């Protein structure tokens, strides 16, 4: 191993003379130094990645002249959770944290989940394409592959339990070069029989035309996975969270972990903006900040290099063009920023185009750029005739990639009372059901070392979602309106959302009374007018529900003010 490190140092010195020092420290390769460009830092770290996935690259290289942005935290400062003890503290309310919380609530435990944002699924879990991957792109040997197929198959039951819309829309990867057929056939067979992706098959051009009449005529054959699906990623995360709450978990929003006190390889105390928390076990599901959390816990053995990607959402009418998840591939090595991605028919029947992939040192840079959209469109227009004029909105997410480009799912190496669920990027949404079960197993192992953990006999896996009136048959819809006339008052005309559904969203077990919170739960403002008509109405419903003035209603975070007050505030006369 020491020779390996010396070789690496030599290679790095050749490419980046005098910039970087490499060290092997326990089972991590630590890079230190100063460099001028983030791309070079990424490149240097990637050069050090080992075949042995247990050895992780840790990046301590300083980017010259750049102060990395601080983690954004809510402006709320109070003592709501001060002195709170718990068996398990889950850090992060994305798909990982929420699914772990729910699976952990099968045990009689005091569980607290902290999320720094004003809602669940605010970062990567709310900013992705919602594909439930078939796993055909993954080879043996990675954790991603270990979980993906098993997890994929569990979605029907899971989504039924959590009452989350899920459709197996299928995935087609098209090829335009006939000569590739033997290679792709061999690939498909390897995936099918060695990797266990048993739904994989090759389909003819004719079959593709039957399935997707609007795909490019140049496509000669395709790799088809009927088990690929679409789900609302934030819908699933919120559903997991709500089911967790029903089973006794406490979720603390706007609560950010700021530091930890570690003593004798144990986390004693966790400081947040809302007080000090005293957990027995900590679960690190902090997404792009997972390496920062690991460092706070004195257990830093991997690094996250954020990679942002932008997706565009097309109007419902474009959704009729494509009914599955489609892309085209060549065998040319593609190092461009638009590697991967495709056209996804979402569970809400829109089309989603993207994403691209751009390395960034800013973990929360969610700003969109025009060139991302242009690039992604020019790529996927080769698959089907999609039009930018059908875009209704776009969004950017940041992937929490490790340099090994694989998940880190294990107990702490140096610190004994932490479990990491880190490096979760695609297909992290798909793998959440299986990953969360493994994380729970590790957590119970740790807890069992010093106490007996009992099953939660009252655990109820069923969560009832908010009724979706638009997609109901008219008779049932009529019955519901008879029971609750608010279901008959349409507030969002584009997505046909009623006042009753909005009130249901406000009434959820996890109370999120913001415009975006309501939008994520029942979709007013998701349509083509993007809330131009309904946003004032939704704001008014929130203000009436909460009995607060409109100036206290927020779009999302604590400072996302909608109105500064009344235009006629200083009234002192009455007529």
The rounded distance, in Å, linking the Cα atoms of 229 and 195 is 19
| Among the residue ranges 24-32, 241-249, 340-348, 547-555, the one whose residues contact another protein (CB under 8 A) | 547-555
The rounded distance, in Å, linking the Cα atoms of 414 and 26 is 10
Binding residue for another protein, selected from 535, 538, 541, 542, defined by CB under 8 A: 535
The rounded distance, in Å, linking the Cα atoms of 114 and 76 is 14
How distant, in Å, are the alpha carbons of 315, 323, 343, 354 from that of 394?
11, 20, 14, 10
Binding residue for another protein, selected from 163, 202, 550, 552, defined by CB under 8 A: 550
CB atoms within 10 A of CB 341: 22
Q: CB under 8 Å to 189, separation ≥6 — which residues?
A: none
| Among the residue ranges 138-146, 223-231, 291-299, 369-377, the one whose residues contact another protein (CB under 8 A) | 369-377
Task: Kindly state whether residue 25 participates in binding another protein, applying the rule CB under 8 A.
Answer: no
Is residue 80 a contact partner of residue 275, using CB atoms and an 8 Å limit? yes
Minimum distance from residue 379 beta carbon to another protein (Å): 18
- Toward another protein, which CB reaches closer, 128 or 247? 128
- Toward another protein, which CB reaches closer, 63 or 561? 561
Active-site residue list: 133
HSE-up of residue 458 (Cα within 13 Å, Cβ side): 9
| Among the residue ranges 14-22, 32-40, 195-203, 364-372, the one whose residues contact another protein (CB under 8 A) | 364-372
Which H or E element spans position 181? helix 181-189
- Toward another protein, which CB reaches closer, 206 or 575? 575
Per-residue DSSP letter, 68: P
- Toward another protein, which CB reaches closer, 125 or 246? 125
Closest residue by Cα to residue 49 from 65, 66, 69, 28:
28
Minimum distance from residue 317 beta carbon to another protein (Å): 7
HSE-up of residue 354 (Cα within 13 Å, Cβ side): 31
Minimum distance from residue 273 beta carbon to another protein (Å): 16
Task: Kindly state whether residue 562 participates in binding another protein, applying the rule CB under 8 A.
Answer: yes
Task: Kindly state whether residue 366 participates in binding another protein, applying the rule CB under 8 A.
Answer: yes
Could you tell me which residues are beta bridge partners of residue 329?
A: 175
Per-residue DSSP letter, 71: P
Number of shown-chain residues binding another protein (CB under 8 A): 65
R_g of the chain computed on alpha carbons: 25
Minimum distance from residue 369 beta carbon to another protein (Å): 6
Q: CB under 8 Å to 502, separation ≥6 — which residues?
A: 491, 518, 522, 524, 538, 541
Task: Kindly state whether residue 360 participates in binding another protein, applying the rule CB under 8 A.
Answer: no
- Toward another protein, which CB reaches closer, 433 or 531? 531
- Toward another protein, which CB reaches closer, 141 or 532? 532
Strand order in the sheet with 131-132: 131-132, 229-231, 166-167
Minimum distance from residue 344 beta carbon to another protein (Å): 18
Minimum distance from residue 248 beta carbon to another protein (Å): 32
Is residue 274 a contact partner of residue 79, using CB atoms and an 8 Å limit? yes
Task: Kindly state whether residue 530 participates in binding another protein, applying the rule CB under 8 A.
Answer: yes
Q: Is 3 exposed, middle or buried (0-12, 13-18, 19+ CB in 10 A)?
A: exposed
Task: Kindly state whether residue 566 participates in binding another protein, applying the rule CB under 8 A.
Answer: yes
How distant, in Å, are the alpha carbons of 113, 243, 249, 490 from that of 100?
10, 11, 11, 36
Site for another protein in 467-526 (CB under 8 A): 469-470, 474-475, 477-478, 481-482, 485-490, 493-494, 496, 498, 515
Binding residue for another protein, selected from 50, 220, 323, 393, defined by CB under 8 A: 393
Minimum distance from residue 165 beta carbon to another protein (Å): 19
Q: Draw the binding track, 283-322, toward another protein (x: CB under 8 A; -: no contact).
A: ----------------------------------x-----
Binding residue for another protein, selected from 72, 80, 441, 464, defined by CB under 8 A: 72
Binding residue for another protein, selected from 540, 541, 542, 546, defined by CB under 8 A: 540
Q: CB under 8 Å to 81, separation ≥6 — which residues?
A: 112, 114, 252, 255, 272, 274, 275, 277
Which residues of the shown chain bind another protein in the complex (CB under 8 A)? 72, 317, 366-370, 373, 391-395, 469-470, 474-475, 477-478, 481-482, 485-490, 493-494, 496, 498, 515, 528-533, 535-536, 540, 550-551, 554-575
């Amino acid at each position: 191993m020491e020779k390996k490190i010396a070789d690496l140092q030599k290679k790095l010195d050749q490419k980046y003379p005098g910039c970087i020092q490499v060290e092997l420290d326990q089972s991590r390769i630590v890079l230190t130094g100063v460099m001028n460009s983030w791309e070079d830092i990424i490149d240097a770290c990637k050069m050090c990645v080992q075949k042995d996935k247990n050895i992780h690259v840790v990046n301590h290289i300083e980017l010259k002249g750049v102060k990395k942005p601080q983690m954004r935290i809510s402006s709320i400062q109070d003592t709501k959770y001060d002195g709170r003890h718990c068996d398990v503290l889950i850090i992060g309310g994305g798909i990982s944290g929420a699914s772990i919380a729910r699976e952990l609530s099968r045990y009689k435990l005091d569980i607290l989940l902290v999320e720094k944002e004003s809602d669940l699924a605010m970062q990567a879990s709310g900013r992705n394409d919602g594909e439930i991957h078939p796993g055909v792109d993954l080879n043996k040997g990675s954790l991603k592959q270990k979980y993906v197929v098993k997890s994929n198959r569990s979605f029907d039951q899971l989504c039924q339990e959590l009452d989350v819309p899920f459709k197996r829309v299928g995935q087609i990867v098209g090829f335009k070069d006939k000569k590739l057929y033997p290679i792709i056939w061999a690939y498909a067979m390897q995936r099918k029989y060695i990797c266990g992706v048993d739904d994989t098959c090759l389909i003819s051009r004719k079959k593709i035309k039957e399935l997707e009449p609007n795909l490019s005529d140049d496509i000669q054959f395709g790799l088809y996975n009927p088990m690929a699906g679409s789900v609302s990623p934030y819908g699933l995360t919120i559903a997991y969270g709500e089911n967790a709450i029903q089973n006794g978990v406490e979720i603390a929003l706007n609560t950010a972990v700021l530091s930890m006190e570690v003593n004798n390889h144990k986390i004693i105390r966790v400081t947040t903006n809302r007080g000090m928390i005293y957990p027995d076990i900590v679960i690190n599901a902090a997404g792009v900040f997972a390496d920062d959390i690991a460092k706070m816990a004195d257990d830093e053995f991997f690094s996250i290099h954020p990679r942002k990607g932008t997706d565009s959402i097309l109007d419902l009418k474009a959704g009729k063009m494509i009914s599955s998840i489609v892309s085209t591939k060549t065998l040319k090595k593609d190092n461009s920023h638009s590697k991967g991605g495709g056209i996804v028919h979402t569970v809400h029947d829109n089309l989603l185009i993207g994403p691209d992939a751009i390395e960034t040192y800013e973990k929360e840079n969610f700003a969109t750029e025009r060139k991302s959209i242009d690039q992604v469109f020019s790529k996927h227009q080769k698959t089907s005739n999609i039009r930018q004029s059908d875009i209704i909105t776009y969004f950017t997410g940041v992937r929490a990639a490790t340099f090994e480009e694989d998940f880190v799912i294990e107990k702490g190496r140096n610190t004994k009372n932490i479990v990491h669920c880190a490096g979760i990027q695609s297909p992290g949404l798909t793998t959440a059901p299986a990953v969360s079960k493994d994380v729970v197993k590790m957590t119970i192992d740790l807890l069992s070392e010093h106490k007996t953990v009992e099953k939660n006999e009252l655990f109820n896996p069923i969560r009832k979602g908010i009724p979706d009136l638009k997609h109901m048959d008219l008779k049932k819809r009529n019955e519901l309106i008879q029971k609750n006339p608010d279901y008959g008052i349409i507030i969002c005309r584009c997505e046909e959302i009623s006042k009753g559904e909005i009130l249901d969203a406000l009434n959820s077990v996890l109370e999120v009374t913001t415009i975006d919170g309501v939008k994520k739960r029942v979709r007013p403002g998701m349509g083509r007018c993007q809330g131009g008509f309904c946003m004032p109405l939704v704001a008014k419903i929130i203000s009436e529900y909460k009995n607060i003035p409109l100036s206290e209603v927020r779009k999302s975070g604590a400072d996302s003010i909608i109105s500064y007050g009344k235009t006629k505030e200083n009234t002192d006369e009455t007529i």
